[in-house]
A and B are shown apart, each in its own frame.
Chain A
Amino acid sequence: MTSTAQAAGRSPVRRLAGTLHRRPRLRLSLLLTAPLLWLAVLYLGSLAVLFVSAFWTTNSFTSEVVKVWSTDNFHALFTTPVFRQVILRSIGVALAVTALSAVIAFPVAFYTARIAKPKWRPLLVVAILTPLWASYLVKVYAWRLILSQGGFADWMLKPFGLSGPGFGLFATIIALTYLWLPYMILPIHTALEQLPANLLDASADLGARAGRTFRSVVVPMVLPSVAAGSVFTFSLSLGDYITVQIVGGKTQLIGNLVYSNIELNLPMAAALGTVPVVVIVLYLLAMRRTGALSSL
């Protein structure tokens, strides 16, 4: 009797909470329905539509999509020299940006995580993240100004009898590296910060000088984080098409081809669009082997 009296006296919110507590499956389904719908319908669904539409064709006069099953688009991807070149160039740019980011990020992260005084470290991390708050377009246009003819780069290099790289592939790589560098620095910083000092002591204790300790202990332990950072730099670079429009001169990457095909030949654009998806999936699979995904 007392228990019913108590139950009657409880507020509906408490009763609901109690019911949910006793029914974990109900709790789980309420919790997951919305995000799962989002993932299945909006995300995976749109990817599926992309993939399916890549097998359609267009009427070459009206540019209207004709829903006839055909592998012509994928055939064209692999046989048309321009497409092949652009795909390889895009992958090359993504790899170059990743490599350049890693080379720059390592010393920066080493400084912020191990050399700088502990009280300055959080501030330095904030400083590294600050550029991410600025607008993408502003940053890329800033690079356009820097790299333009008679711009900052030219002015800096003039005393040495050199000139800036101008717009083109190299400028694209520099600008993309600048854009995605924080995503590389941050995981490396975290890994270096968490590297136990005892391991460095142990290495020295066993007879290793600083260089040896760096090669045999620091680098291998931080490598998974470099790979984690590279997932960002690689995929973000592969998908970019605005930076290359602004500082790339006549350079074309996959994104530009997708963009220029979208009006005229949507199925071709879809076929081109699946390329970075496939490349990134392959890249992720390769990175998973290094253990990078668990240090994201």
Chain B
Amino acid sequence: MEATAIRLQGLRKVFGETTAVAGVDLDIADGEFFSMLGPSGSGKTTVLRMIAGFESPTAGRIELAGQEVTGLAPFERDVHTVFQDYALFPHMTVEQNVAYGLKVRKVPKAKRLQQAREALADVRLEGFGARRPSQLSGGQRQRVALARALVGRPRVLLLDEPLGALDLKLREQMQVELKAIQREVGITFVFVTHDQEEALTMSDRIAVFNQGRIEQVGTPAEIYERPATPFVAGFVGTSNLLEGDSAQQVVGASGTYSIRPEKIRVLKESAEADEPEHSTATGTVVEVVYLGDATRFLVDLDAGGRLTALQQNLETSSEDVAAYRGTRVRLRWHHRHTFKVPTPR
């Protein structure tokens, strides 16, 4: 068992009449890249702010490396934060921004400037030290914020949707870089995001938040392939649920079932109905969405309900797939991809 970097016990936060966090228990291991995933207002940012010390919990307990820090001020915690809007000091140069935490801790000037330069080199911003934050692009500011938070080598780094303001290309690039930096420095990263793809690609483990509670904690594969609740199944990946009558007919048992769109094959209706270890369902294509590398088919099942199927465009073009609209099709997928979603009693 690895050492625990962060332990949350019965954490609650109430703002006036609204309960932002309604009881969270969580252990985050040392050196882990841990994501908190959830829609806005699900309490993930509030949990992060409580770990940082910006908010004090209404109830519950926060431990960092085995020591209780629940009542401590932000400057008493060995935790640094990368803010959503970066929160760089506009009146300081990039280098002064990065060296600020060291200056506060009275690191001698020569040493802190050297460390600041090294930190800027780590995020590939050599030579930018003398600039002002206002002279940098969004991606560069983001990396300055990262360097500023990392330079003091905190035990835990908290990242509050740090990639939210970047465009898609830059975001994908930063995802890879963040992950590489995390592996290099070996610091525990707690990453808040509402982007399920981001969470899946970067994290060692993910906690899915909903309405102030954690719905599921697990590795990306566990979260994606074996969602513990209908909410997780819907929020992570495309919602593809079979319930009630249609589940009875297609799967042959009652309950709620989740099938990932890329596991479903779209065939002609006349295709062989029975194939061992496979489920099948017929229906009508109501919508075809051409995505470039793939096509998404929305199919209304004869048994009731709607499934989304994702097909790689191996040999098909946009004209080919458009012809599918309104046609009858047969969907087929392997039994092992039908996953029973536990429904809360």
Contact = CB atoms under 8 A, between A and B. Distances in A.
A196 interface: yes
Nearest to B106: A207
Given A205-B74, A205-B80, A207-B152, A199 B105 contact: no
A206 B152 contact: yes
B206 to A, nearest CB: 24
A204 B83 CA distance: 13
A207 B81 contact: no
Contact of A199 (B53, B87, B152): B87
A249 B45 CA distance: 63
Contacts of A196: 85, 87
Interface string B94-126: 000000110011000000000000000000000
Given A201-B54, A201-B74, A202-B81, A207 B87 contact: no
B102 to A, nearest CB: 9
Contacts of A216: 100, 104
B148 interface: yes
Contacts of B85: 196, 198
B267 interface: no
Contacts of A204: 53-54, 73-75
A217 B75 contact: no
Contact of A206 (B54, B73, B148): B148
A149 interface: no
B83 A201 contact: yes
Nearest to A199: B87
A206 B83 CA distance: 12
B52 interface: yes
A206 B104 contact: yes
Contacts of A198: 83, 85, 87
B90 interface: yes
A14 interface: no
Contacts of A220: 91
Interface string B39-76: 00000000000001110000000000000000001110
Interface string A208-222: 110010001100110
A205 B104 CA distance: 11
B54 A217 contact: no
B89 A205 contact: no
Contact of A212 (B54, B81, B104, B152): B104
Interface residues of B, number: 23
Given A205-B80, A207-B101, A221 B90 contact: yes
A209 B54 CA distance: 13
A203 interface: yes
Nearest to A291: B91
A207 B101 CA distance: 6
A209 B75 contact: yes
Interface residue tally of chain A, by bracket?
A: 10 to 19
B80 A206 contact: yes
Contacts of B101: 206-207
Interface string B163-189: 000000000000000000000000000
A206 B87 contact: no
Interface in A206-251: 206-209, 212, 216-217, 220-221
B55 to A, nearest CB: 10
A254 to B, nearest CB: 36
A243 to B, nearest CB: 36
A196 B79 CA distance: 21
A114 to B, nearest CB: 16
A197 B152 CA distance: 22
Given A207-B75, A208-B75, A202 B87 contact: yes
Given A206-B152, A207-B105, A201 B87 contact: yes
A205 B82 CA distance: 10
A199 B89 contact: yes
Given A201-B54, A201-B74, A208 B104 contact: yes
B48 to A, nearest CB: 11
A7 to B, nearest CB: 47
A73 to B, nearest CB: 45
B89 A217 contact: yes
B101 to A, nearest CB: 4
A246 to B, nearest CB: 42
Given A206-B148, A208-B75, A201 B81 contact: yes
A198 B81 CA distance: 11
A199 B148 CA distance: 13
Contacts of A205: 52-54, 74-75, 79-81, 149
B100 to A, nearest CB: 6
Name, among A196, A198, A206, A208, the residue most crowded by chain B CB atoms within 10 Å (CB to CB): A206
A73 B79 CA distance: 68
Interface string A182-208: 000000000000001011011111111
Contacts of B81: 201-202, 205
A120 to B, nearest CB: 18
Interface of A: 196, 198-199, 201-209, 212, 216-217, 220-221
Interface of B: 52-54, 73-75, 79-81, 83, 85, 87-91, 100-101, 104-105, 148-149, 152
By Cβ-Cβ distance, the 5 closest A-B pairs, closest first, are A206-B101, A198-B87, A204-B74, A202-B87, A207-B104
Given A204-B75, A207-B104, 16 more contacts: A199-B87, A201-B54, A202-B89, A204-B53, A204-B73, A204-B74, A205-B54, A205-B79, A205-B80, A206-B104, A207-B75, A207-B101, A207-B152, A212-B104, A221-B89, A221-B90
27 contacts: A196-B85, A198-B85, A199-B87, A199-B89, A201-B54, A201-B74, A201-B81, A201-B83, A202-B83, A202-B87, A202-B89, A204-B53, A204-B75, A205-B53, A205-B54, A205-B149, A206-B104, A206-B148, A206-B152, A207-B105, A208-B75, A208-B100, A216-B100, A216-B104, A217-B89, A221-B90, A221-B91
